[in-house]
Structure 1
Amino acid sequence: MADKLHQDLSCTICAQMFTQPVTLDCGHNFCKACIVGVWGELEAVVSCPQCGREFPRRELVTNQLLVTMVASLQHLNPGVETGGNGLRCPVHLEDPQLFCSKDLRLICSSCLALGEERSHRLITIEEAYEFCKGKLENSVLFLEKKLEEYRGAQSDQEFKISETLELVESLQENVEAEFAKLHQFLQRQEGALTEKLRRESENLVHSLEGSFKLISKKSSSIEKFIAEIRSLIDTEDRSRLLTDIKCVLQRSDLHNEPILQPPDLCVGEFNGPLQYAAWKQMLSIISPAPAPLTLDSETANPCLILSKDHTMVKRRTKFKQLPENPKRFTFCVAVLAAEGFASGRHYWEVEVETLAGWIVGMAKETVNRSDDLPLTPANGFWTVRLWNGKVHWTQGNSGASCCCADAKPERIGVYLDYEKGQLSFYNAGDMSHLHTFSDRFVEKLYPFVFPLPNLEMVEAEVLKLFHLYL
C-alpha cells in the first residue's frame, strides 16, 4: 500500500516523489522544476506532457494538498534520509543548506537551483539559530511589555468599575433626595388642603344640622298654630273669634321671617386647578430655581445692542464707537452677565428661538477679551453652539466641535455646580440633556452669550435671558 501511495505521489516526468508539486489547468500534477524544464524557454503555446492539452499561458498553481501528503509520507517512511540534525527543507524535503532570514524557512539545493530566494538574505544554519533566538527574545520583550500594558489597563478598568458603581450610588441618592423634597412638599400641600376641607366640611355640616333642628322646631310650632287657628275658625263662639282675631294675626305675622339658606361648601377651592396651584407654590422649594440674570453693558462688544432692562441683546447693523474698557470684549462679539458665581449651585435659561446661530455658556473672569482665541476650556470658555441647525459642544484645545443634538432648541438651560466642577447644558423645552463639562473651577465664572452673525441681520433675531414669572 505504501508503494502504491509512493507511486501516486510521484511525478511522471522524473518518476520521483513530487518536490514543490504544481497543478496545470488540465488537472495533472508535476514537480515545478520538471514542468519548467520541459517547457524550457519556449514562448509558443505550451502543453501538458501527460495529456497533450495546450495552454496559451504558463499558469502554475502550487498543490498544497500534495505538499502535505508528500511530507506526511516522508515522515512515515523510514527509508527517507534526513540530515544528522533532523532538519529538512519543508518544500523539497531535502537537507537544508541555508536559512532565509526574510521568509524564516530552511533552504535546500533545489531551492537555490530555482533561484526564488536570490534577492533574500541567506544565512548559515548555525547563524540561523542565533538569529531566530534573537527574534524570539524580541517577541518575548514585546509581549511582556504588551502584557504589562494590559495588566495596567485591567487595573484601571477595575478601578473605573468601582468608581462608576460609587458614582451611580451617589447619583441614585441624589435623585432620591431631590424627589423626596418634592414628595414631602406635595404631601404637606395635600395634607393641608385635606385638613382644610375636613374643617370646613365639619363646620358646614354642624351649621346645617343646627339649621335643620331650628327649621324642624319652627315647622312643629307652625303646625300647632295652624291647628289652633283651624279650631278658632271652626268654633261657634263668635265672641271668642272676634276677641282673639287680633292676637292670632299678630302671632301669625311673627312667622313671616325668611328661612335662612345654609352656606355652601367652597367647591372651587378643592376642585379647581389644584396641580397648577401646587406647581406655582413649589417654586418656593425648588433649588436652584431659574435665576433672573441681567447682562453687563460694560462687557458688551461694540457690535451689540442691549435692551433697557439688560435682558436682551442683538447685533448692530453698524459698528458704534464706545469708550475703552478693559472689561469689554473687543474681538469676540459677546457679552457677560452682570452676576458671576464662585460657589454653589445655579441654573438659568437663555431664549435663542429667533437666532440662526448662537454660542452660550460660561467664561472665567480673567479670560482674554481682546484677542481671537478658540472658545475652549483651556482658554477659560465652556460653551455649546448652534451651527447649521445643530447643537455642538467644543472639545479639546483646538476648538473642534462635536454634535450633541440634531434639533434646534428654543431655549437653553445651563446648570452650574461650582464645587463639583460640573457645567451642564439642557434643551429647556423638555429638559433633555445636551452636554456636561467636568472641570476644576478656581475663579469666578460668568454666564456668556454670543449671538452669531446673520447676513440678513433680521431685527427679530434677539437673544434673551429668560425670567420666570409665576
Structure 2
Amino acid sequence: MAAASLLRSEDQFLCSICQDVFTDPVAIPCGHNFCKPCISKHWDNNENYQCPMCKKAFDPRPELYVNTLISEMVTQFRREAQHEPNIYSSDQQAAKPGEVPCDDCTEPKLKALKSCLLCLTSYCQTHLEPHLTLSGLKRHQLILPVENLEDRMCRKHDKPLELFCKTDHTCICHHCSYSDHKSHDVTPLKEEHEEQKAELKKTEAEIQQMIQERLLKIQEIQQSVEHSKNAADRETAEGVEVFTALMESVQRSLDQFKEKIQEKQRTTEKQAEDFIKELEQEIWELKKRSTEVEQLSGCEDHLHFVQRFKCVKAAPSMKTWTEVSVHPPSYVGTVVRAVSELEDKLTEEKKKVGGAELKRVQQYEVDLTLDPDTAHPDLILSDDGKQVHDSDETKNLPDTPQRFSDCCSILAKQSFSSGRFYFEVQVKGKTEWDLGVVRESINRKGDLTATPQNGFWTICLRNENEYEACADPPVRLSVKSGPQKVGVFVDYEEGLVSFYDTDFSLLIYSFIGCCFNDKLLPFFCPCYNDEGKNSSPLIITPGGSCGLEEWGVGWSVGL
C-alpha cells in the first residue's frame, strides 16, 4: 500500500516541462512550479517570457528563486520512496575495496548496482528501487556503477555534462551551449557516443587487422627461421660429408706416402740382409781355410805337407766386395710430390664443391641490360644492351650527373636494394677489365678509386694475367688459368659479393661483411682499347649449367 501511495503522490512533484520529479523547484508569478533549469532554458530559447502552462507573459523576465517548501516536500518524497521495501530484493553484499559503494546506505555501505547520471548518485539494489518503479525516475539514465560522479558535472554551471562540443572536442552542459560554446557544433552526448562507438568499431576492426598482419608476419618470420634452420642443417650435412671425405682422402694419401717410404726402407734392408748373409758365408769358408792352413803349417810330414799344400793354397772363388755397398734411398721430393698429388686431388674435389655452390647461386640469375645514360663517351653498346667495348673515340654526349666522365665504365639499368641476385659476364680475349657491383650514389666524375669504402665491390684484370680484388689494400688473386666467364653473386642482407670462374666452377674471391645502405647496380668496365689489344667486348650472358645435377653432388672422394 505504501508503494501505491507513493505512485499516487508522484504526479504532485512532476515538472510539466521535463516530466520528471522537480530539481530545484521554482514558482513563477502566475503560481506554476517548474524545475529551475527547465524554465530557465525555456525562456532562454524564446523571445517572450511566458508560462508554459497558462501562457501568461511577463516583462521583464522574473527573477527565479527556489521554492523551499516544495523543495523540502520533494526531498521528503524521494527519501520515503528510497526507503520503501524492495519486493524484488535478494541478499546483497557490502562493498569491497575497489567496488563502488551505495551513496544512500549508512555503514556498512552495500555494493552499488547502478549509478544515475542525473542524480549523480550510486545506488544499491534497495535504493535503486524508486528508479525502477517511479515513472519520473524511470527516465533517468542509469549506467554501471562508477566512482567520481562529480566529474560528470560542469564545474562552471554545476549541471550534468549532457552535450558534446565537436568544435572544442569536450563535454559540456546545456548552459555551456548558450554561453561559451554558443556558435559551436554541439550534439547530444548520446549521439556523439553512438558516432564515436561506430568509429571505435572501425578502429577495433583496424586493430584486429593489424594484429592479424603481425601474426602473419610472426608466422612468416618463424617460417623463415625454419627454412634457415633446414638450410643450415642441409649445408652442415653436406659440409660434414665433404670434409669427412676430404679427411679420409688426406689420410689415404698420408698412408700411401708412408707406405712408399716404408717400401723403400724394406727394399734397402732386404738388400743389406742379403749382402750380410753372403759375407757371413764367405767368412765361414775363410775361417775354415784358415784352420786348414794353420794345421798344415804345423805338419812335419814332408810328403803330406807337399801333397796338401796345393789344395790349401788354392783360393776359393769369392766376390770382390770393394765396389759393393748399400745406398740409402733418396727421399728428395717425396713429400713435395705427395703434397702435389694431394693438391691435385683436392682441386678436383674443390671443383665439385664449387660446382654445387655455383649451381645454387645461379638460381638467382637476373636479366640485365646496360644503361647507355651511364656509359663513358668512349664506349660502344650493342643494340640489345648486352655487350660493351671501348672504341678509342670519344663521342659528343651530354655530361649528365649519371654518366661516367673519366672512368671507361657503365652500369646496368636494373638496381637492387634487397634479396639475392646473380649475373655472368664473358671476359674472353680481354687483357684488362673490371667487374662487380657499386652503390647507386658513387661518384662518377674524375678518377675513381674502386674500394668498398667508396662504394665499389669489384675485381679486375691487369696486364693479361694479374688479377686483383679491389679492396683497401688490393688483394692479389691466385688464378691458375684466366677465366673466360665470370659469375657475380650478391646477397644484400648477408653483405656478400662473390665472384666465380664459371668454366671451372671455382670461387675466385668474396667480399664479406659488406654494408651497402643503398641501391646496388652491376658495374662493368671493359677498359681502354689499347690499340686493339683489348678490343674484345664484355658480354652479359645467360648462366650456364655446371654439369651437376640440381642441388646434388655425390661426395665420394676416390683418391
The bucket for the TM-score relative to the shorter chain is 0.3 to 0.5
Please give the TM-score of this superposition, normalised by the length of structure 2: 0.40
Which has the larger Rg?
Answer: 2
Please give the TM-score of this superposition, normalised by the length of structure 1: 0.46
